[in-house]
């Protein structure tokens, strides 16, 4: 934590039903000490909640950044773009800290090429496949206000309709 940084955010995990989770987040204009402090604070939140990724909207901040650790390395990702998507798809079970208690299989491209700014302000371009590609896409979706449950087939979505309604009622 950087001393003297004024937090305007509570950094609580936002649960399904909160409007910030379905909003399209704003691009980060500048890498400020506050942004770096928030990113630093999001990393231990990942560990605490046994997550592999955490996006800014999930802590109530409608800006385009996230942290992820898909087992290969820790990434602090600012203003990401998915510049290329492979044609091969894969299905894998996903969960989300903002949608507790629900795990469902989601189809996504296996391979993507991404570009983002890291915490040092450098532009990074990487080709990701399998699990890191999956986590990146899940977190990227959060920045567009999309949750993994929005990517389910209508039938699969219907099966968890009641659970989702219950989460929404708790949030309200
Ligand atoms: Zn998520």
pLDDT in tens, the chain (172 residues): 444 455 556 789 999 999 999 999 999 999 999 999 999 999 999 888 888 999 999 999 999 999 999 989 999 999 999 999 999 999 999 999 999 999 999 999 999 999 999 999 999 999 999 999 999 999 999 999 999 999 999 999 999 999 999 999 988 8
- Are 13 and 58 in contact by the 8 Å Cβ rule? The answer is yes
Q: Note the pLDDT of residue 7.
A: 54
153-159 contact pairs (CB < 8 A, 24+):
156/104, 156/105
How far apart CA 139 and CA 63 sit, in angstroms, is 12
For the question of whether the overall pTM of this predicted structure is more than 0.75, the answer is: yes
Q: Note the pLDDT of residue 9.
A: 62
Taking phi over 0 as left and psi of -120 to 50 as alpha, with beta for the rest, 60 belongs to left
Q: Is 4 exposed, middle or buried (0-12, 13-18, 19+ CB in 10 A)?
A: exposed
Query: What is the CATH T-level fold of the domain 19-171, as seen in this structure?
Result: Peptide Deformylase (3.90.45)
Distance 138 CA to ligand 1 centre (A): 6
In the numeric block, the tokens 């979706």 are attached to: 141
Distance 125 CA to ligand 1 centre (A): 22
Query: In the annotation, is 122 catalytic?
Result: no
Distance 43 CA to ligand 1 centre (A): 14
Catalytic option among 139, 165, 169, 170: 139
- Are 79 and 56 in contact by the 8 Å Cβ rule? The answer is no
């Amino acid at each position: 934590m950087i001393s003297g940084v004024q937090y305007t955010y509570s950094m609580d995990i936002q649960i399904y039903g909160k409007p910030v989770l379905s909003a399209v987040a704003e691009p980060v204009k500048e890498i400020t000490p506050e942004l770096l402090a928030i990113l630093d604070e999001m990393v231990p939140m990942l560990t605490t909640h046994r997550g592999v990724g955490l996006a800014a909207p999930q802590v109530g901040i409608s800006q385009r950044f996230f942290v992820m650790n898909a087992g290969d390395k820790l990434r602090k990702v600012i203003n990401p773009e998915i510049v290329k998507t492979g044609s091969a798809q894969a299905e894998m079970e996903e969960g989300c800290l903002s949608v507790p208690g629900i795990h469902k299989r989601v189809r996504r491209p296996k391979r993507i090429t991404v570009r983002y700014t890291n915490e040092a302000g450098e532009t990074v371009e990487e080709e990701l496949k399998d699990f890191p590609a999956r986590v990146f896409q899940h977190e990227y979706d959060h920045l567009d206000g999309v949750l993994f449950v929005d990517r389910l087939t209508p039938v699969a979505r219907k099966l968890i309709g009641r659970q989702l309604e219950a989460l929404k009622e708790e949030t309200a």
